[in-house]
Amino acid sequence: MVDVGWVINLVAGAKDLANVSRIAEGQAGNTHQVQQVKDIIEALRLIYFAPRGVISLLDDLANGIRPSQELIEGILTNFNDGEHFVERMRLRLDPAAGQPEGTLSLKAEKVLREISYGKGGVRAKVQNLLNQALTFGEDIPRDEAGELRDEILLLNEAIEDAEEALFKSLRNL
């Protein structure tokens, strides 16, 4: 059984992001800081798991539907091809230096960092689960597919909440 406690806490943190992501009034005219928030919003949108693809594949597997090898290979190929792009977006959420930029509060930056880490961890789980099936022609256990799908959906919820909170912070300028 997958421990999704971390992602449930992440969802709670993302929902609270609106309260900790407000740009200070004196910074409202700072277009650089506003652009940084817009870049973060864009990164969140780009690391979001779309309903088609991995989620629908895992949903089928969880429901006992065995997709064709071609479908699995197509989804996994697209998923793997996006690796470098996703890594660049994750770095927008958690810069390599790890130093706060000052645009957001430390708590808001922590939530974004956790989303970045969560995305990396979930991507690795998807690759391992699907690569195993492709490489060895094994069935994917229904319960594992369902748990991973649920973890992705919770991560998506955190991404949605964070994105919405950041939009609100921009509207309040």
Q: Is the pLDDT score of 27 beyond 80?
A: no
Round the average pLDDT of the chain to a whole number and report it: 79
Distance separating alpha carbons of residues 145 and 108, to the nearest angstrom: 31
Range(s) of the domain holding residue 134: 5-171
Confidence at residue 38, expressed as pLDDT on a 0 to 100 scale: 86
Q: 8, 156 in Cβ contact below 8 A? A: no
Confidence at residue 142, expressed as pLDDT on a 0 to 100 scale: 93
pLDDT digits (tens, 9 = 90+) for 90-124: 888 887 655 556 667 777 788 888 888 888 889 99
pLDDT digits (tens, 9 = 90+) for 44-99: 998 999 888 999 999 999 999 988 888 888 888 888 888 888 888 888 888 765 55
Quote the number of domains for the chain.
Answer: 1
pLDDT: which is higher, 122 or 132: 122
pTM above 0.85, yes or no: no
CA 142 from centre of chain: 23
Q: Is the pLDDT score of 152 beyond 60?
A: yes
Confidence at residue 58, expressed as pLDDT on a 0 to 100 scale: 94
Q: 40, 95 in Cβ contact below 8 A? A: no
Q: Is the pLDDT score of 18 beyond 60?
A: no
Q: 154, 53 in Cβ contact below 8 A? A: no
For residue 144, give the nearest of 76, 64, 29 by alpha carbon. Answer: 64
Distance separating alpha carbons of residues 90 and 100, to the nearest angstrom: 15
- CA gyration radius, the chain: 18
Question: Is 96 exposed, middle or buried (CB count within 10 Å of its CB: 0-12, 13-18, 19+)?
Answer: exposed
Q: Is the pLDDT score of 153 beyond 90?
A: yes
Domain CATH code at residue 136:
1.20.120
Bin 55: left if φ > 0, else alpha if -120 < ψ < 50, else beta.
Answer: alpha
Q: What element of type H or E holds 23? A: none
